[in-house]
Amino acid sequence: MLQVEPSSLNAVNKNLGPGKWRLTRLDDNGNEIEMYVFQEEHCARAVRTLFERRGHKQDYYVNEIT
């Protein structure tokens, strides 16, 4: 399980501000794509781990939005 509280998801809680953490992927052609934005760093890292376990060629990164 992700251990993500529904209250931390913007789609569930409309009172949250803009996300602070971005999950992006870099594919084998060098294309960087923003996948999701999160309020909490641990949520972004948990979802990144799920994608990494799939074994695709892409690399996944979590970055703070400044």
Count of the separate structural domains present in the chain: 1
What's the rounded Cα separation, in Å, for the pair 26 and 33? 7
Cβ atoms < 10 Å from Cβ of 4: 17
How do residues 5-59 score in pLDDT, each as one tens digit? 766 665 666 667 788 999 999 988 899 999 999 989 999 999 999 999 988 778 9
Q: Is residue 1 part of a domain?
A: no
What's the rounded Cα separation, in Å, for the pair 10 and 4? 12
Q: Is residue 42 part of a domain?
A: yes
Confidence (pLDDT) at 18: 82
Q: Is residue 17 part of a domain?
A: yes
Backbone angles phi, psi at 65, to 5 degrees: -90, 120
* pTM over 0.75, yes/no: no
Q: Is residue 37 part of a domain?
A: yes
Q: What H or E segment, with its residue span, contains residue 50?
A: helix 41-52
For residue 11, the enclosing domain spans 6-64
